Chain A
Amino acid sequence: MDAELVAMQLFSGVALGAILIMVALGLSIIFGMLGVVNFAHGALFMVGAYAGLWVASLTGSFWWGLLVAPVAIGLFGMAIERVLIRPLYRRSVDDPLLLTFGLGYVLVEAVRILFGSDGIPFPTPPELAGVADLGIGFFPIYRLFVVGVVAAVLILVWLCLEKTRFGLIVRAGARDPLIMRVLGVDIARVWLLVFGLGVGLTALGGVLAAPMRNVNPEMGSLVLAEAFVVTVIGGMGSLVGAVVAGLLVGVAISMTALFAPEMATIVMFALMALVLLVRPQGLFGKPGRA
């Protein structure tokens, strides 16, 4: 096996991992703050991809799709939080989970009605087509672009959480929402924004992933399982955990695809089982949480 092929496959794994990071990060932020596991997260990833496709075909430009779809789906996420999830905060943690599962079911079917059940190809934008020679091999420009965007978004999210007043409130609210309320913070509004942010991130992941695979109504269901695996490995509520586990899973999938293709879909679950045995709270999770 020559080194160039391995390097290229490694890089594919990083690009795949970058998408997973976007999805898992949104899931993790929502859970860390609201204590809600969003089972519609995969479906919203898929809706994001379709929204990107739709906007791109209306405007004739991928860039508008990339820009508008995550924001629009993020706003849609805020509407979901406001109307469907907010009434459930006083109830058992299982209720929002069940509700979002039902919502995912509805969203998939709604997309089937609007766009049909078959996959739709999403062309790579012409500016990003082709390959780049990085000295150690040829890499698809689009995947380099995806990794770049995800890195930039990660830095933005990190800055927002660590350096702004909003981030301070989010972090404090994750620890003790009651005290925040006592201090006069309108925590409901923060939750609304956080849910929108998490959904927007997964929608961005969907748009970014679309040119790398076909867009189809089922694309979210695999992503949801993958995001769960990443979250369990990394530890719920940890930004670093999501990044490390996302890359780990992405690389593990692409490397097994190279050396043992029939194991590629199975390997990440084996990794998760291993982590559960050794460290049930995940690599970067706090013991009390798991």
Chain B
Amino acid sequence: MTLSAQSLDAAPRPLRARLAARRVPLSILALSLLPWILPSEALAVNVLVYGLVAVGYNLLFGYTGLLSFGHAAFFGTGAYVTGIAIGRFDAPLFAALAFGVAAGGALAFVIGLLSIRTRGIYFSMVTLALSQLVYYIALQASSWTGGENGLRGFTVSELNLFGWTVDFLDPVEKYYVIMAFTAAALWFVSRILNSPFGSVIEAIRENETRARACGYDVERTKLISFTLSGLICALAGTLFALHLAIVPLDILHYHTSGMIVMMTLLGGAGSFFGPFVGAFAFLLMEDVVSLWTPHWQIVVGSVFILFVLFLPKGIWGTLMAWRAGR
């Protein structure tokens, strides 16, 4: 036994396992290089924020196996609540962020409670419909949200980080502050996935009936996963609000949910690096294609269709499968 264990250790571990063991530091390293690789800092911040939404979404879609089409609601709520807290109540920055995350998480809990009552294909439809409800509420409550014009007037120009003042108008400094939050969230998600809870959600994805037969409370686990996923998306939303200093109404529309789904799938659902790879690929594609046509969506949509047909594991998943197969 000891001998075989030793020889197992001695054998070179596959790339996938070596990457997985250091996934958080590796992600942070890659992210810290982004502003220097991409054509603009604004694009880098977008990759960061959308990558984080996709990471949160991936927890539910990739790992728990639930295809939600309503995650724009949590992303948007995080952004709106943070913006309102700063613009209307003059809340300190960290309190505003906490409010945004808490509100998005609470909404995720409520929507999760309703939509988890349905199974399979219904789930996608119900999450889409409930998130549209949030969209219309934000549209109607224009005295709070600015309605169709979006929420404005809460520009954060500097941030006092324990005595060190960060100039938020400098794109590079802003990038690294937002990256610090993202890194913390990535560490949190990695911990969730490594925990016994992480194994249970994957068990539910693989075989729900069997997980139930093993004695796991499937409904409760799904609800917790849904809420955690919503919390991460809400955090991304708060960062998005800080970054743009406006919250467009469209952030709540189900097209945003669709974009999150596309990014996650393009990169590779159910893998740790996939969502960031997907956000990077999607936004870079948008950036490049929109240089020569305003109709970039037709290109991105077609690429997405081809991925669903031929590369359902996404860029990262396919790369890993190809390495493993060699």
Contact = CB atoms under 8 A, between A and B. Distances in A.
A109 B297 contact: yes
Contacts of B309: 84, 87-88, 99
B300 interface: yes
A130 to B, nearest CB: 33
Looking at A112, A229, A277, the one whose CB has the most chain B CB atoms below 10 A away is A229
B123 to A, nearest CB: 10
B258 A105 contact: yes
Interface of A: 31, 35, 37, 84, 87-88, 91, 93-95, 97-99, 101-103, 105-106, 108-110, 112-113, 221, 225, 228-229, 231-232, 236, 262-263, 265-266, 269-270, 272-273, 276-277, 280, 290
A263 B139 CA distance: 11
30 contacts: A35-B121, A37-B121, A37-B124, A84-B305, A93-B120, A93-B121, A95-B308, A97-B124, A99-B308, A99-B309, A102-B262, A103-B301, A105-B258, A105-B298, A105-B300, A105-B301, A113-B298, A221-B255, A225-B128, A228-B126, A229-B129, A232-B118, A232-B122, A265-B139, A266-B133, A266-B140, A269-B133, A272-B130, A276-B118, A276-B126
Contacts of A236: 121-122
Contact of B136 (A106, A108, A266, A273): A266
A99 B265 CA distance: 11
A94 B304 contact: no
B295 interface: yes
Given A99-B305, A103-B305, A105-B258, 10 more contacts: A87-B309, A93-B120, A97-B124, A98-B304, A102-B305, A105-B297, A225-B128, A270-B133, A272-B130, A280-B117
B35 interface: no
Contacts of B258: 101, 105
A262 B140 CA distance: 6
A97 B254 CA distance: 14
Contact of A97 (B67, B297, B301): B67
B171 interface: no
Q: Is the interface of B mostly helix, strand, loop or mixed?
A: helix
Interface string B293-318: 00101101110110011001000000
A169 to B, nearest CB: 23
Interface of B: 67, 69, 114-115, 117-122, 124-126, 128-130, 132-133, 136-137, 139-140, 253-255, 258, 261-262, 265, 295, 297-298, 300-302, 304-305, 308-309, 312
B114 A276 contact: yes
Contacts of B117: 276-277, 280
B295 A113 contact: yes
Given A87-B309, A93-B121, A97-B124, A228 B129 contact: yes
Contacts of B254: 221, 225
Contacts of B133: 266, 269-270, 273
B265 A98 contact: yes
Contact of B130 (A84, A109, A113, A269): A269
A273 B297 CA distance: 32
7 residue pairs, one from A and one from B, having the closest CB atoms = A269-B133, A105-B301, A106-B301, A109-B298, A102-B304, A228-B125, A265-B136
A269 B301 contact: no
B132 A102 contact: no
A36 to B, nearest CB: 8
Contacts of B261: 98, 101
A221 to B, nearest CB: 7
A81 to B, nearest CB: 14
Listed residue (A97, A101, A272) with the most chain B CB atoms within 10 angstroms of its CB: A101
B122 A225 contact: no
Contacts of A232: 118, 122, 125-126, 129
B143 to A, nearest CB: 11
B308 A98 contact: yes
A232 B67 CA distance: 16
B232 to A, nearest CB: 21
A87 B309 CA distance: 8
A47 to B, nearest CB: 14
Contacts of A110: 298
A280 B119 CA distance: 9
Nearest to B117: A280
B254 to A, nearest CB: 7
Contact of B297 (A98, A101, A108, A269): A108
A10 B137 CA distance: 24
A113 B120 CA distance: 35
Contacts of A103: 301, 305
